Structure 1
Amino acid sequence: MIKIPKKSDFVLVVLLIIACFSLIVVPNEFNKEQESNTLRVKALVLSTNNDLMVETGILKTGTQRLQIKILNGKFKNAEIQAFNQLVGRMEFDKFFVPGDKTLTVLNLNQDHTTIKSANVIDHYRINMELWLLILFIILLVSFAGWIGLKAILSFMFAGLTIWKLLLPGFLKGFSPIPLSLGIVALLTSVIIFLVAGTNRKGLVAFLGAMSGIIITCIMAIIFGAEFNIHGAIKPFSETLLYSGYAHLNLTDIFLAGIFISSSGAVMDISMDIAASQAEIINHNPAIGAKKLRQSGFEVGKVVVGTMTTTLLLAYSGGFSALLMVFIAQGTPMTNILNLNYVSGELLHTLVGSFGLVLVAPFTAIIGSWVFTRQKASKILN
């Protein structure tokens, strides 16, 4: 059963819904169509012709011709020939068989009445992605009720903020580290106060999280310079420089990504400690600041012990194929650890872990002070 929200929670939710709607409807120059005479549609592959395709081992190059049927839009049910270009790179190439559904770009004439050509972009996955999202929402709301609804709202706001504010800000040339720190502070405040409520628990969690994020930011700047790593090590980063954005500071964007990536885990730890201290003070209002701080330390030790490993697994999971290549080739460990992209991931993991370790005692200290102050109680409750 969904719990009836407090007035302050309801006001915050309404404001956040307005903010999300504003971010959705407000356009910017980066989401305009590059070509006005194109149309993206869903299509069904009826048949394929691989005569123009060349297979060399496991690689395929050339052109795959497809007979497709358009499934939506103004040209629905039209059957046309489309082309699938293969460049011999498995991470980019797509291979289709009859019965596949595709995302296809139609090139139209000037008056948009005739299809000049069609290019198949990829397999059509939007429907399945929507079903997966709906299943996630149902599961979250079923378990967490009103808090689950607020978590979904914060999830949406975070995604929109990154898409509409952070990334366009990078492209426009704003300094990546201050911009990222400001966006993370905004998201941290919204997410924590939305989930925890506008109370002492939310205040403690927010202040604790920001302390860990700021420390992570400082550590990233210091050790990023010492590691001598260029931001172009991240996939597709260099492509930006050749796409009209040579002014971008890829290294600062890379360093900003370190504390952005760890901010979610930092929020988790600060919230765990703040929530545990809030429960302790509710059940034992007479507890002193020293004992409450020690209780926060004990909770923090347990949470940090698992969260640090979680961060390592999260970062290393995407590089399993690369590590397998090193093992298969017998690459010495010294060489592996000195490679720029491996060093970059180590920097990501270790600096992020600094924030995770330090946010625990900081939150416990802040919580022991805030929860045992009657003045703070009168102001925030």
Structure 2
Amino acid sequence: MHLFISLATILIAIKNYLGAGLPLKIRHNLIHINWFKLLLFLLIGSGGYIFTTNNAHLYKSPIGQVVAVQNHHRTAQTDNFNNKDYQQTQTLKLKVLNGSYRGHFIKLDNTFSYSNAYDLRYHRGQQLFLNLPSLKKPSAIMITGMKRDTILFSITYLAIGLLLLIVKVHGLMALISVLLNAVFFFAAIKIDVVTHATTTNVLVIFGLLAVLLLGITALLTFGYSKQALILFCSSLSSTFLGLLLSIIILTKTGYNGINFEMMGYVTQLRIPLYLAGSILGALGAVMDVATDITASLFVLSYQNPTLNFKDFMRAGRKIGQSVMGPLINVLFLIFIAGTLPMVILTMRNGNNFSYTFAMVMSLGIVQSIISGIAIALTIPITTILTSWYCYQKREGK
């Protein structure tokens, strides 16, 4: 509380100072700087950073801060595939920040590898969660994890702050949409887990979730309007039509070459769960294309009311063609980024690329293709619906 009072006092002082001699806003052509908002953003961020680095008393688990590190001799290691790594032990001196042993110092040994595959190297200033039953039993004291709330706060605050500062009201709507979508997404997962959903129920649960997420996003993007309705109808029809075509193709080919066993420790039938994930994956890309086409054609109809139906169709097709390629590449690169560590690990253990592709990449590639099919269908469907509405509106029908 004292921290926020101090921040408020500083803000008032800065505002009074700036108001007395300097302008709070600078405008030059397209550049618009509001110094008060910028300072407010920086001060709140600094306050949050200070708070998260000094909030150990709010945690039940013991937390220790590394105050000194002594690194010992490292040992080289080589496996059967000639992969080289190094193992090293470090002695950490930690100060306990909370609990009954607050203020005490302890020493721990931590063994880490340079690859950090199963361990971490710790540095001075980091805060660590501890298993601290008693100071009299040093062998029972263990590091259970790293305290990361400061990093999470900084990244989240920066993303949200920039969104609100740059995009303003639309950024707020996007943030609300993300939060609501996250709530409903976890609710759907909870329903799936609690009810032990069968094949049909999984597709019904996540199909309804897709409809709900689409409706929320459309309303928050365009409000209660014809644009929102067109976006909803075109995105929904494109997603489920693309999924239907993909299911038909996969069924006819007997899912040949797709290794569903690589989905991990799934306690449900893998295929319906995979298809449910494909619905959600395709929906985001489809909405992006549909939003671009719908918004652009509506703006075009306002700026040039003399356009006919064919003109709208040509414009919509060109817009779709311009965004389809980059969007499919974005989806592919996101998939590549997610599988890159596992691909490298698999190939470094003596496996060739064909095996790696089949066992690690095939599931993601197929989902990217399903999204690509849905994107391709979105262009004509959205263009036809939007062009028809804009033309009918121009004719006064």
Normalising by structure 1, report the TM-score. 0.71
5+ long unaligned stretches in structure 2: 1-24, 26-58, 79-84
- 2:202 corresponds, among 176, 181, 188, to 176
Report percent identity of matched pairs.
20
Distance 1:292 1:90 in 2: 55
Change (3 A) 1:193 1:73: farther
Q: Does the Cα contact within 8 Å between 2:62 and 2:99 map onto a contact in 1?
A: yes
How many residues are paired up?
Answer: 324
The SS at the match of 1:40 is: coil
5+ long unaligned stretches in structure 1: 2-37, 110-114
The SS at the match of 2:121 is: coil
Q: Quick check: 1:185 aligned with 2:211?
A: yes
1:1-381 equivalences under 5 Å are: 39-47=60-68, 56-57=77-78, 58=85, 60=87, 66-72=92-98, 76-80=102-106, 90-97=116-123, 99-106=124-131, 118-162=141-185, 164-172=186-194, 173-174=196-197, 175-222=201-248, 223=250, 225-227=254-256, 229-234=258-263, 237-238=264-265, 246=267, 248-324=268-344, 334-337=354-357, 339-374=358-393
Letter in 1 for 2:119: D
Distance 2:298 2:182 in 1: 29
Distance 2:352 2:148 in 1: 41
Change (3 A) 1:49 1:202: same
Superposed CA RMSD in Å reads 3.9
Change (3 A) 1:87 1:155: same
Change (3 A) 1:65 1:183: farther
- Higher mean C-alpha deviation, range 288-297 or range 115-124: 115-124
Q: Does the Cα contact within 8 Å between 1:44 and 1:71 map onto a contact in 2?
A: yes
What's the CA shift string for 1:69-97, capped at 9, x where partnerless? 23356764344466768799943322324
What's the CA shift string for 1:88-107, capped at 9, x where partnerless? 9943322324x142341546
Q: Which residue number in structure 2 is paired with residue 10 of structure 1?
A: none
Q: Does the Cα contact within 8 Å between 2:202 and 2:273 map onto a contact in 1?
A: yes
Q: Does the Cα contact within 8 Å between 2:312 and 2:387 map onto a contact in 1?
A: yes
Normalising by structure 2, report the TM-score. 0.68
Q: Which has the larger radius of gyration?
A: 2
Q: Following TM superposition, by how much is the alpha carbon of 1:67 offset from its aligned partner in structure 2, in angstroms?
A: 4.2
Q: Following TM superposition, by how much is the alpha carbon of 1:251 offset from its aligned partner in structure 2, in angstroms?
A: 3.1
The SS at the match of 1:226 is: coil
The SS at the match of 2:60 is: strand
Distance 2:106 2:239 in 1: 53
